[in-house]
Amino acid sequence: MEFAQHLTQNPTAPARRAEILSDPGFGQYFTDHTVVIDWTEGTGWHDARIEPYGPIALDPAASVLHYGQEIFEGLKAYRFADGSVQTFRPEKNAARLNTSARRLALPELPEELFLEAIKLLVATDADWVPDGDGESLYLRPFMISTEAFLGVRPAKQVSFRVIASPAGNYFGGELHAVPIWLSEKYARAGHGGTGEAKCGGNYAASLAAQLEAEEHGCSQVLFLDPTDDYAVEELGGMNVFFVIDGDTLVTPALNGDILHGVTRDSVLSFAADLGLTVQERRITFAEWKQLLSEGRLNEVFACGTAAVITPVSELRTADGNLTFPDTDQATSVWGRIRQHLLDVQTGAAEDTKGWMRRLA
CA-based R_g, the chain, Å: 21
Residues 63-82 that bind ligand COI (CB under 6 A): 74
3-class SS shares of the chain: helix, strand, coil, % to 5: 25, 30, 45
Residues 202-231 that bind ligand COI (CB under 6 A): 203
The residue within the footprint of ligand COI, chosen from 12, 100, 239, 305 (CB under 6 A), is 305
Please give the Cα distance from 283 to 343 (Å, whole number). Answer: 30
Our finding on whether 262 is near ligand COI (CB under 6 A) is no
Q: Which stretch binds ligand COI (CB under 6 A): 37-45, 103-111, 301-309, 327-335?
A: 301-309
Within 10 angstroms of residue 154's Cβ, the number of other Cβ atoms is 15
Please give the Cα distance from 243 to 278 (Å, whole number). Answer: 9
- Kindly state the smallest distance separating residue 78's Cβ from ligand COI, in Å: 14
Nearer to ligand COI, 146 or 165 (CB): 165
Per DSSP, which regions of 31-107 are E strands?
Answer: 33-40, 44-52, 70-72, 75-79, 85-88
Our finding on whether 166 is near ligand COI (CB under 6 A) is no
- Kindly state the smallest distance separating residue 26's Cβ from ligand COI, in Å: 8
Our finding on whether 306 is near ligand COI (CB under 6 A) is yes
- By Cβ distance, which residue is nearest to ligand COI? 74
Within 10 angstroms of residue 331's Cβ, the number of other Cβ atoms is 8
Nearer to ligand COI, 98 or 157 (CB): 98
Q: Which stretch binds ligand COI (CB under 6 A): 214-222, 249-257, 289-297, 299-307?
A: 299-307
Burial of 345 (0-12, 13-18, 19+ CB in 10 A): buried
Our finding on whether 178 is near ligand COI (CB under 6 A) is no
> How many residues in the shown chain lie near ligand COI by CB under 6 A?
6
- Kindly state the smallest distance separating residue 111's Cβ from ligand COI, in Å: 19
Please give the Cα distance from 188 to 186 (Å, whole number). Answer: 7
CB 27 within 8 Å of CB 163: no
Interaction site with ligand COI (CB under 6 A): 74, 203, 237, 304-306
